[in-house]
Amino acid sequence: MERAAAPLGFATQALQAAAALLAAVVLQLGAVGGASAAQTYSLSSVAEDHLLEFVRQMEVRVDSGMEAVKAAAAQGADSPEAAEGRQIIQEVAEVVEANFSDVRAAGYDPQAWQQLKERALARPLRDRTAAYGVVRELLAVLRDPYSRFVTPTEFSAMLKYDVSGVGLNLGTAEEFANKTGMPLPEGRNVGSAAGGEGVWVVGLIKGLAADSAGLQQGDQLLELDGQQLQGQSPFQVASLMQGPEAAPEDALGLQGAAVRLKVRRFDGSKQAVTLQRPVRVLQSPVSSRLERSAGGEQVGFIRLASFNARAQRDTLAAVQRLQAAGASRLVLDLRDNRGGLVSEGIEVARLFLDDGALVVRTEGRARSSAAPITAAGAPATAAPLVVLVNDHTASASEIVAGALRDNCRAVLAGKRTYGKGLIQSVYELSDGSGLVLTVGKYVTPSGTDIDREGLSPDFRAMPAAEAADGVVRTCRLQRAPQLQAPQPAAAVAAAAAAS
């Protein structure tokens, strides 16, 4: 009977591959079909969500079929792994109860969830794989295609995507408490002065530089190479952590410089830690060119393909280079940019926004107390700006486009954007597996719900300079009271820390 597992597992993999291919086909057909821009968006985004949900439901059915065969062979006996399996089910249920946000109103009922959890914990389990199947059944009830269970092997692969370059996941005090579920040490609560010093180690990747140097979850980073980190955001500290870059052909065998840290341990003691930064090989997502418009103006085009750890820095360099070459107007091309690091998207938006301007709002259970995310300091440029978008502009790209349009800083040209505005958090479980869970959604400064709606462009094609300037002027007249209202200094500082 055990032989049935192999073909069933293969069937699951084949189903996932087929559904993914079908989703890509639907998206492409939606882009070229005869429907309107809004209809095209609705067909592609909703179809992909339905396909993802279909795959999750079929995975559950296949898992259930496999377990039924195995349980019959084992005559329903619990194995020694049963207790460990029930622990994983309990952990997943508790994380969902505390953090899941039903932002798409799919019908999540906390009381019904409790009943499902109790029934799941009472089921006989043959092994840990059976427990994983039960977890997938529970998550399928949420009807959220983006919330999913991740096996230990898959979770380990996910952790290898590292922004700091040394194996650190950094966050504010609030993010540490929200993501780990651990209370801060006494005297260092979220609102205290001590809690605001430096940034916190939310998690580490085993075997990389930070772990090898002895950094621990719950450490506060106070100094980096002698520089005080008070007032710095996790994004800024991660950028300081990143090692030097090298061309791919030159990177083999190179070793980066050491970085000296001072941290405060969970018990309040302070310790010096030295770790070795790697040489990073990271392709730039930014390209740029200078063109002369029909009206004779020099226009700088910046193509931003994705939001990796170089997005903000390379976008800033492109702006400075183009303006030095004579560009009086700028075009930011976000077409086909499906997103990436949201923190980088926020930082790119800040390059163009005035001090105190709201970048994005978050809604959801785990984000309800988050400080507003605003721009801090003078913008890098005041040049008129057009943002190019299409139906593959998604996630972090939509945050940038929404922030620039809602603050009357730019107009959007092209097609309605994709509409992916969900916020996912990743939780590590006790056996090394993981849970990716929807905890909220992003909303533009003026209140537009990005998720599933997308952003409607102001123009279907590149506008003339006079037309774009007219839309911006009208926007500023309509929003004058909001745009002129000063942000409290404390709120701006808190927002910088929240990014």
Q: Taking the alpha carbons of 137, 141, 146, 147 in that order, is the dihedral positive or negative?
A: negative
Angle between helix 82-99 and 128-141 (nearest 10): 20
Closest residue by Cα to residue 216 from 281, 147, 274, 265:
265
Which residue among 233, 420, 441, 499 is the active-site one? 420
Classify 391 as helix, strand or coil: coil
Question: Letter for the amino acid at 9?
Answer: G
Question: In whole angstroms, what is the distance from residue 104 CA to residue 394 CA?
Answer: 17
**Could you say which DSSP state residue 230 is in?**
T
Q: Taking the alpha carbons of 413, 419, 425, 428 in that order, is the dihedral positive or negative?
A: negative
Which residue among 45, 395, 397, 499 is the active-site one? 395
Contact 359, 353 (CB under 8 A): yes
Name the phi and psi angles at 142, rounded to 5. -65, -20
Is position 420 annotated as part of the catalytic site? Answer: yes
Question: In whole angstroms, what is the distance from residue 333 CA to residue 306 CA?
Answer: 11
Contact 156, 183 (CB under 8 A): no
| Measured distance between the N- and C-terminal CA atoms of the chain, rounded to whole angstroms | 53
Give every CB contact of residue 85 below 8 A, 6+ residues apart in sequence: 125, 127, 128, 130, 131, 132, 134
Q: Which helix (H) or strand (E) holds 272?
A: strand 270-276
Classify 410 as helix, strand or coil: strand
Helices and strands in the chain: count of H runs, count of E runs: 16, 16
If one counts every other C-beta atom within 10 angstroms of the C-beta of residue 183, the result is 10
Tokens read off for 179: 């993501």
Q: Which helix (H) or strand (E) holds 346?
A: helix 342-350
Angle between helix 110-122 and 82-99 (nearest 10): 180
The strand ranges marked E within 277-407 are 286-292, 298-304, 329-333, 358-363, 373-374, 385-389
Question: In whole angstroms, what is the distance from residue 459 CA to residue 59 CA?
Answer: 42
Tokens read off for 466: 């006079």
Q: Which helix (H) or strand (E) holds 66?
A: helix 37-74
Tokens read off for 284: 């730039």
Question: In whole angstroms, what is the distance from residue 165 CA to residue 161 CA?
Answer: 9
Just list the catalytic residues. 395, 420
